[in-house]
Amino acid sequence: MFAAFYALAIYYRRDAGRHARWMISTVFPLFTPITDRLIGANWPSLAAAAPRVDGSPIVPVFGFALADLILLALVAWDWRANRRADVFALALGALALYHVSVLTLYRVPAWTAFCGWFLALPLA
């Protein structure tokens, strides 16, 4: 998502409004690495409250929710202030699809087979 948003920002570099909105959107794919580390270091009890998959807590859910809520607020702000519903709405939709895939694809046998194959590659 980061690379896609960045590429769109570069594509719209001559349109200052769209460029700025896509550049702001590049922040949201980075939420989960940041929130996961903050929760692990400062609020381990929050990790215990996270949903679980095969017994492991899925702490990124908190980062997903935070990013989605902020993007939703930006969509509302952009609509009220500028009557625009393009960039932030597209970023929210793309991230929401990604978040849903993270939380559901582990149940799909073809996906788990691919992941097993990929993890078995001698990459290191």
Rounded-to-integer distance, Cα 62 and Cα 76, Å: 21
Which position has the token pair 């590659």?
121
Check whether 124 has a pLDDT greater than 80. Answer: no
Q: Can you give the residue range of the structural domain that contains 25?
A: 2-120
Q: Please give the average per-residue pLDDT across 100-110, as a whole number.
A: 89
For residue 90, count CB atoms less than 10 angstroms from its CB and return exposed for 0-12, middle for 13-18, buried for 19 or more. middle
pLDDT tens-place string over residues 47-103: 888 888 778 888 889 999 999 999 999 999 999 999 988 999 999 999 999 999 988
Rounded-to-integer distance, Cα 115 and Cα 12, Å: 35
Predicted local confidence at residue 36, as pLDDT:
87
Handedness of CA 65, 69, 71, 72 (dihedral sign): positive
Cross-strand pairs, 56: 53
Q: Are 1 and 101 within 8 A, CB to CB?
A: no
For a pLDDT cut of 70, what percent of the chain falls above it? 100
Predicted local confidence at residue 29, as pLDDT:
93
pLDDT-derived band at 108, boundaries 50, 70, 90: very high
Answer with the residue of higher pLDDT: 59 or 13. 13
Q: Are 46 and 63 within 8 A, CB to CB?
A: no
Domain count, the chain: 1
Token pair for residue 49? 């409250």
